[in-house]
């Protein structure tokens, strides 16, 4: 019995030590001290303080994150577009007609300029030819297989190694404080779901995105969903609050984006009756990642900067606020 | 220090006692012993047994429940239809033209037969007139206000008091074993979300249902979503697996329904590679609830009974398997 008692005392000491350590440890080690880090910590401490007027009850602690440019690098082209272009090449042997048919001809010739000149209509053709016509299970596997080997042209890293370390810490910090973290992306919902749990700790049911329609079928006695070449929902701009309401059914209290496509999501969050936080990642680090300017081809944050200023949204400067950009390999 | 040690020993004894009690306690006290209860317990014990070949990893423990007739009574008419009819009456002063216009005229005259004779088109008109044209926040409040006072014509109970006690226990039992419980209903997603957390312990983000479209707007500087009189998605029959994939993004391992509208959901679950469980609630208790027959107006389980037999789905007889139907008031 004596040993049991000793064991408990030891356990007790350990528990006290652990809780003290947790309080002292920096949950955001890749963030430099500054207004961005302070805004996050102040918001979380207030929202979880029962004594505060701004206390947010746990069920309402909903945090939403854009994906491309907010959680992972998506430059020089969207990762999903890189996937689609690679799929066109992989599927080309089954489509001899693509050699003479735009936009596929340009893709096969590596002529990205002509591809992009085809505009939305051309991109839609590429998406439908590469994202539809198989079951959801098969598509999920195709995405995983591609991500296992495809590499970023500049860094030579896997795309899933080009997630932002400071944002991984932020996701974990929020979850550690009772927040449910959701991804709300203009990207394809089924392009993200196969890997978001492993990479971000965000399970499939907490991913919101654009989608194509699916159809239920029995194939050899097995129930499947077949992906159809028809848009179901575009989760961008004013579509983001719509997608949030559709999937989550609650107004978020924290929202993180990086482009004009995120403005409405942040506005929707800002109208919460609870304490709330809105932040935009600024791509201003040409050396370690990219520096976008609003007026360039890749500039995706223009109007958003003005709205941020008016509304007091907090900017995250990759250059100033982040000690490291990508996780260590 | 002596007292601290004693306190720990006491705590230890308490913990052992509690865990023993948990193992001995019946998690499903309102269920009679029988094939239905056994099927549930056997499935849960196997799925959570790490040593079993049929172990289901926690993230994949997704259980889906139909709502009307599976979790709560929805007879003689769907609760949501009762809501819509009451709303027509409440809104009538603002619509003098309804006095002479079907299907509203019939609603105002309490002539349910004529209302139902109007078929889907008539019902859709009633739904759009009562469910659209306000913000999502306002609609949520309208639903809560109605549920706070509206009573079932036969029992005089609030509708939220007509949930099935055995199913509440089943929901809690599954959650206690690491399952995430979702509602997947043909009913309106925004009709359910305001109260499912309180009544079923299912948060809004775990409710899947039919929906109308919404539109993002800034009203007096506040971001809102306005409900539009346009169908977005019908979450019934072959729509249920589509809705499950859209919202959850994983194939469930347990599914519970009560009507032909649930067949595809159970088929989709049955095709899981994991251990799985499919069950149908049989309304066969005329005394304590209702006894539907397939060939009557309200019979909603016809083909489903055949498929259940072929596929070995487990029937839940309200009469034989449930000790009590509704919670004590």
pLDDT at A40 over 60: yes
| pLDDT, mean over chain A | 93
DSSP string, B270-305: HT-SS--EEEEEE-B-TTTS-B--TTSTT---SHHH
Q: How confident is the model at residue A300 (pLDDT cuts 50, 70, 90)?
A: confident
Where do the H-state alpha helices sit in B134-214?
136-147, 165-176, 189-200
Tell me what the mean pLDDT of segment B11-29 comes to: 61
Of A293-302, B16-25, B273-282, which range is least confident? B16-25
Q: What is the pLDDT of residue A293?
A: 78
Whether A12 has its CB under 8 Å from any CB of chain B: the answer is yes
Within the 215-254 window of chain B, which residues sit less than 8 Å (CB to CB) from chain A? 215-216, 218, 222-225, 232, 238-239, 241-242, 245-250
Spatial distance between the Cα atoms of B199 and B183, rounded to a whole number of angstroms: 12
- Show residues of chain A in contact with B141, CB under 8 Å: none
Q: What is the pLDDT of residue A174?
A: 98
Identify the DSSP state of B238.
T
Beta strands in B49-166 (DSSP E): 62-65
Q: How confident is the model at residue A160 (pLDDT cuts 50, 70, 90)?
A: very high
Q: What is the pLDDT of residue A267?
A: 98
Whether B60 has its CB under 8 Å from any CB of chain A: the answer is no
Tell me what the mean pLDDT of segment A240-246 comes to: 98
Contact A223 B136 (CB under 8 A): no
Q: Which of B4, B225, B267 is the closest to A241 by Cβ?
A: B225
Among B14, B249, B250, which would you mutate to test the A interface (most chain A Cβ atoms within 10 Å of its Cβ)?
B249
| B328 SS3 class | coil
Per-position b or e across A12-50, b if 16+ CB within 10 A of its CB? eeeeeeeeeeeeeeebbebbeeeebbebbbebbeebbee
Q: What is the pLDDT of residue A13?
A: 52
| pLDDT, mean over chain B | 93
Q: Which of A218, A242, A248 is the closest to B205 by Cβ?
A: A248
Q: What is the pLDDT of residue A298?
A: 61
Contact A223 B193 (CB under 8 A): no
**Minimal Cα–Cα distance from B165 to chain A, Å?**
24
Q: What is the pLDDT of residue B104?
A: 97
Residue of A nearest to B12 (CA): A8
Q: How confident is the model at residue B11 (pLDDT cuts 50, 70, 90)?
A: low
Q: What is the pLDDT of residue A21?
A: 44
pLDDT at A2 over 80: no
Contact between B56 and B253 under an 8 Å Cβ cutoff? The reply is yes
Q: Which residues does B245 contact at the CB level (< 8 Å), separation at least 6?
A: A136, A214, A225
**Minimal Cα–Cα distance from B214 to chain A, Å?**
6
pLDDT at A49 over 80: yes
Contact between B65 and B76 under an 8 Å Cβ cutoff? The reply is no
Strand partners, B277: B254
Of residues A128 and B20, more confidence is placed in: A128
Q: How confident is the model at residue B25 (pLDDT cuts 50, 70, 90)?
A: confident
Q: What is the pLDDT of residue B76?
A: 87
Q: What is the pLDDT of residue A8?
A: 56
Q: What is the pLDDT of residue A135?
A: 98
Tell me the per-residue pLDDT of B240-269, one tens digit each, with 9 for 90 and over: 999 999 999 999 999 999 999 999 999 999
pLDDT at B151 over 90: yes
Question: Which residue has 């216009």 as its token pair?
Answer: B101
Q: How confident is the model at residue A22 (pLDDT cuts 50, 70, 90)?
A: very low
Cis amide linkage into residue A271, ω under 30° from 0 = no
Q: What is the pLDDT of residue B106?
A: 97
Contact A205 B8 (CB under 8 A): no
Tell me the per-residue pLDDT of A117-126, one tens digit each, with 9 for 90 and over: 999 999 999 9
The CATH code for residues B29-75+157-321 is 3.40.50.1000
Question: Which residue has 């559709």 as its token pair?
Answer: A246
Give, in order, the Cα–Cα distances in Å from A67 to each of A126, A209, A324, B169, B205: 21, 10, 18, 38, 20
Tell me what the mean pLDDT of segment B55-77 comes to: 96
Spatial distance between the Cα atoms of A95 and B173, rounded to a whole number of angstroms: 52
Measured in degrees and rounded to the nearest 5, phi and psi for residue A77 equal -130, 160
Q: What is the pLDDT of residue A294?
A: 81
pLDDT at B134 over 90: yes
Q: What is the pLDDT of residue A5?
A: 58
**Minimal Cα–Cα distance from B315 to chain A, Å?**
21
Tell me what the mean pLDDT of segment B92-118 comes to: 96
Please give the share of chain B, as a percent, with pLDDT higher than 70.
91
Please give the share of chain B, as a percent, with pLDDT higher than 90.
88
Q: Which CATH architecture has domain A27-75+163-321?
A: 3-Layer(aba) Sandwich (3.40)
Q: How confident is the model at residue B19 (pLDDT cuts 50, 70, 90)?
A: very low
Tell me the per-residue pLDDT of A259-275, one tens digit each, with 9 for 90 and over: 999 999 999 999 999 99
pLDDT at A152 over 50: yes
R_g (Cα) of chain B, nearest Å: 22
Give, in order, the Cα–Cα distances in Å from B236 to each of B205, B211, B214: 19, 11, 20
Spatial distance between the Cα atoms of B282 and B293, rounded to a whole number of angstroms: 10
Tell me what the mean pLDDT of segment A295-307 comes to: 81
Spatial distance between the Cα atoms of A280 and A259, rounded to a whole number of angstroms: 8
pLDDT at B308 over 60: yes
Tell me what the mean pLDDT of segment A32-47 comes to: 98
Q: What is the pLDDT of residue B214?
A: 98
Cis amide linkage into residue A143, ω under 30° from 0 = no
pLDDT at B18 over 90: no
Whether B197 has its CB under 8 Å from any CB of chain A: the answer is yes
Tell me the per-residue pLDDT of A54-76, one tens digit each, with 9 for 90 and over: 999 999 999 999 999 999 999 88
Q: What is the pLDDT of residue B300?
A: 84
pLDDT at A17 over 50: no
pLDDT at A12 over 70: no
Rounded to two decimals, the pTM is: 0.92
Spatial distance between the Cα atoms of A241 and A219, rounded to a whole number of angstroms: 36
| B106 SS3 class | helix
How far is CA B21 from its chain centroid? 30
Q: What is the pLDDT of residue B228?
A: 98
Q: Which of A114, A126, A108, A222 is nearest to B272 (CA)?
A: A222
Tell me what the mean pLDDT of segment A286-294 comes to: 89
Tell me what the mean pLDDT of segment A164-189 comes to: 98
The residue ranges of every structural domain in chain A are 27-75+163-321
How far is CA B176 from its chain centroid? 19
């Amino acid at each position: 019995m004596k040993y049991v008692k000793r064991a408990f005392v030891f356990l007790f000491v350990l528990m006290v030590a652990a809780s003290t350590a947790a309080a002292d440890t920096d949950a955001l080690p890749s963030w430099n001290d500054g207004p961005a880090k302070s805004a996050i910590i102040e918001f979380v401490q207030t929202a979880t303080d029962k004594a505060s007027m701004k206390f947010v009850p746990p069920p309402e602690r909903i945090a939403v994150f854009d994906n491309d440019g907010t959680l992972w690098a998506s430059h020089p082209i969207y990762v999903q577009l890189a996937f689609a272009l690679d799929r066109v090449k992989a599927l080309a042997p089954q489509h001899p007609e693509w050699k003479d048919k735009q936009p596929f001809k340009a893709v096969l010739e590596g002529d990205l300029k002509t591809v992009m000149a085809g505009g939305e209509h051309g991109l839609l053709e590429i998406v439908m030819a590469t994202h539809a016509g198989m079951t959801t299970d098969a598509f999920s596997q195709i995405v995983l297989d591609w991500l296992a080997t495809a590499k970023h042209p500049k860094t030579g890293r896997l795309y899933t190694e080009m997630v932002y370390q400071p944002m991984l810490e932020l996701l974990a910090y929020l979850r550690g404080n009772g927040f449910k973290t959701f991804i709300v992306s203009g990207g394809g919902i089924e392009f993200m779901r196969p890997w978001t749990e492993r990479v971000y700790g965000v399970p499939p049911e907490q991913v919101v995105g654009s989608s194509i329609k699916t159809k239920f079928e029995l194939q050899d006695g097995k129930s499947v969903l077949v992906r159809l070449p028809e848009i179901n929902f575009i989760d961008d701009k004013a579509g983001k609050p719509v997608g949030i309401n559709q999937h989550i059914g609650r107004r978020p209290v924290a929202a993180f984006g990086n482009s004009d496509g995120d403005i409405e999501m942040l506005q929707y969050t800002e109208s919460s009756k609870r304490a709330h936080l809105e932040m935009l990642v600024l791509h201003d680090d040409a050396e370690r990642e990219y520096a976008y300017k609003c007026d360039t081809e890749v500039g995706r944050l223009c109007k958003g900067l003005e709205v941020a200023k008016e509304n007091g949204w907090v900017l995250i400067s990759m250059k100033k606020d982040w000690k490291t950009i990508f996780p260590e390999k």
